[in-house]
Structure 1
Amino acid sequence: MKKIHPSITNREFKLLIKPKGLDRRSKITELSEQILKFCKKNKVDFFHLDNANTGLRNVYFYDTPGEEFRLNNIILRVRESRQNVWVDDYAEVTLKCRTHDMNKASQFNPSPQKKIKSRIRFKEEILRGDEIGSHRQIYSNNAILDAVPIDDLFDRSLSSVSKFFPGLAKLSIDKKSPLRIVGGSTNKILEACLPLGNLVFGDGVQAHCDIAIWMKSAGDPIVGELAFSYRVNDENRSPIKAHKRADKFFEKLQIELSQWLEIGSTKTALIYGKPE
């Protein structure tokens, strides 16, 4: 492994989990305890959270009828936080270019217009490879808007959303193209996200670990995703030993959890019904 590329701000490891039983707390406890034992066996410190609160939110994606965003490796995602049945008035909106080619991802500018506050993240996302115990990378260039009024998101057209994200106007897509929720307006996902704890791979390389459960509705899980991620900066970019340890942990974790793993790459790919 070479030094982490200077463009990368985050490394995120993801495993899809079979949906059966994920709506039961006992199943999540079983998974969490298995991870805890695995960490002890492999001498990786895991600061486990016993009483973390589960966050709920609606998740959905916008694209043109011909899925031209997807064909250009663009993802436009909305997350609406909610308290029980109540949806917040403000949403998190993310525009990202995600592709296997780092240079291609970096060439797209997801930044919103200057007056809109955003967080920019360039992520190396590590997924399982074709075989259990292997991995592959995809890269995503993200702009994240944290508090967008839901009622003022945008009109359902490319020209409207381009006012938020000028980079979209440079794509070779008809500016009059309508936008719609991928899969239709009933295809909003209910996501439950539970923090599991922190993994320590070395100095300055401490990853947040959580599980997200995607459901059509409460009690109807579609898929789970076990993920751990950490920030990359000038201070921790060079200690290759810690990053290698995270990579190795991810590969060995797949073998440990092989009975839990779902076939596929990302949750987004499942929504589109096409590989990513």
Structure 2
Amino acid sequence: MKTKHGITNREFKLLIKPEGLDRRRKITALSDQILAFCKKKKVDFFHLDNANTGLRTVYFYDTPGEHLRLNNVILRVRESRQNVWVDDYCEVTLKCRTHDVEHASNFDPTPKVSLKSRMRLKEELLRGDGLGTIRSIYSNNSILDAVPLDKITDGTVGSIMKSFPGIGKLGIDRKLPIRMVGGKANKILEACLPLGNLVFGDGVQAHCDIAIWMRSVGDPIVGELAFSYRVNNENREQVAAHKRADQFFKKLQVELADWLEIGSTKTALVYGKPE
């Protein structure tokens, strides 16, 4: 395969059943199985034995009628945590995520000039209808790394439009309220543990990690095993390496069949609707 023009990242995702994911031994067992599978498939896996777990709070904003979601747009906030303490600044991501790469590309998530951002056009590769299958969705992202949330919204769509002008082209009434999806009770506690790096070819090395979403400590909702890599001018034409990553993802589903949860993305679980 050849990666589509403009794609900056490829990210492979598998949802993991929540049972026991708050137990270190469960994560160790999953990591050991992946390591053994990589050896069998002759994929180099530089495993991290002593990685630190990152902790953050995740939530989403939308109108009561979910006008953003209906336009395939997601507004996500991540707050980093150190133990019980929440950082004063948060990461804010606006993305258009859809099955059509042209649709995603045509939405402009760029923030106003005064806000520093990182732009990403991602191909997100998910399990298809059955084990060993693959499908793609595309997300056009603007990521603000360290902003006070009150600089982003005052509770109305109009305030979001001031920060992200592209939303103004969606035809949403700027006077509509914007609020946390599901209310404050729907804030997610996310623990993220790096597992290591997978090597699929020259310049195609993927970071692999597992994220665990919890209502609270000890109450897992779902896990997500993911590996991702940057796509650039140096590796874009590495067709064999990209294809090897695809094949690895499909075979990994079969290997981890007993671990896998039905569903598409973690965001879909929060909204309660498929993407």
Range with greater deviation from structure 2 (45-54 or 167-176)? 167-176
- Residue in 2 aligned with 1:35? 34
Q: Is 1:202 the counterpart of 2:198 in the alignment?
A: no
- SS of match in other structure, 2:110: coil
Distance 1:261 1:254 in 2: 8
Equivalent pair of 2:152/2:159 in contact (CA under 8 Å): no
* Alignment match, 1:223: 222
Partner of 1:182: 181
CA distance in 1, matches of 2:58, 2:68: 17
Instruction: Show CA shifts across 1:69-93 (max 9, x none).
Output: 1110000000000001000000000
- Equivalence for 2:240: 241
Contact 2:152 2:163 in 1 (8 A): no
Cα distance between partner residues in 1 of 2:243 and 2:125: 12
Normalized against structure 1, the TM-score is what?
0.99
Q: 1:257 is aligned with what amino acid?
A: L
Q: Which amino acid in the other structure matches residue 163 of structure 1? A: K
Following superposition, the deviation at residue 234 of structure 1 comes to 0.4
Identity of aligned residues (%): 76
State the match for 1:129 in structure 2: 128
* Partner deviation per Cα, 1:137-167 (whole Å, 9 max, x = no partner): 0000000000001343321110001111000
Task: Give me the whole-angstrom Cα distance separating, in 2, the residues matched to 1:271 and 1:154.
Answer: 21
Name the amino acid aligned to 1:132: L
Task: Structure 2: state its 5+ residue gaps.
Answer: none
Q: Distance in 2 between matches of 1:69 and 1:161?
A: 11
The answer to whether the Cα contact below 8 Å between 2:125 and 2:134 also exists between their aligned partners in 1 is: yes
RMSD (CA atoms) = 0.6
CA apart distance, 1:53? 0.2
Kindly indicate whether the alpha-carbon contact (under 8 Å) linking 2:77 and 2:90 is maintained by their aligned counterparts in 1.
yes
SS at match of 1:259: helix
Report what 1:98 is aligned to.
97
* Corresponding residue for residue 4 of structure 2: 5
Q: Residue 266 of structure 1 corresponds to which residue in structure 2?
A: 265
Q: Give the SS at the match of 2:193.
A: strand
Matches within 5 A, 1:145-160: 145-160=144-159
- The amino acid that maps onto 2:120 is R
TM-score (norm. length: structure 2): 0.99
What's the CA shift for 1:172? Answer: 1.4
Residue pairs, 1:106-117, within 5 angstroms: 106-117=105-116
Q: Distance in 2 between matches of 1:129 and 1:205?
A: 23
2:273 is aligned with what amino acid?
A: K
Write out the 4+ residue segments of structure 1 that deviate beyond 6 Å after TM superposition. Answer: none
2:21 equivalent in structure 1 = 22
Deviation for aligned residue 1:229: 0.1
Shift of 1:226: 0.1
Q: Deviations over 1:20-73 (max 9, x none)?
A: 000000000000000000000000000000000000000000000001111100
Matches within 5 A, 1:36-55: 36-55=35-54
The 2-side partners of 1:82 and 1:234 are apart by 36
Deviations 1:85-143 (A, max 9, x none): 00000000000000000100000000000121100000000000001100000000000
Q: What is the rounded CA distance, in whole Å, between the counterparts of 2:236 and 2:165 in structure 1?
A: 31
In the other structure, the counterpart of 2:55 is 56
Structure 1's unaligned 5+ residue stretches are none
Q: Distance in 2 between matches of 1:193 and 1:103?
A: 31
Residue equivalent to 1:87: 86
**Within 2, Cα distance between the matches of 1:157 and 1:175?**
7
The one-letter code matched in structure 1 to 2:127 is R
Match of 1:173 in 2: 172
Deviates more, 1:177-186 or 1:256-265: 177-186
Secondary structure at the counterpart of residue 259 of structure 2? coil
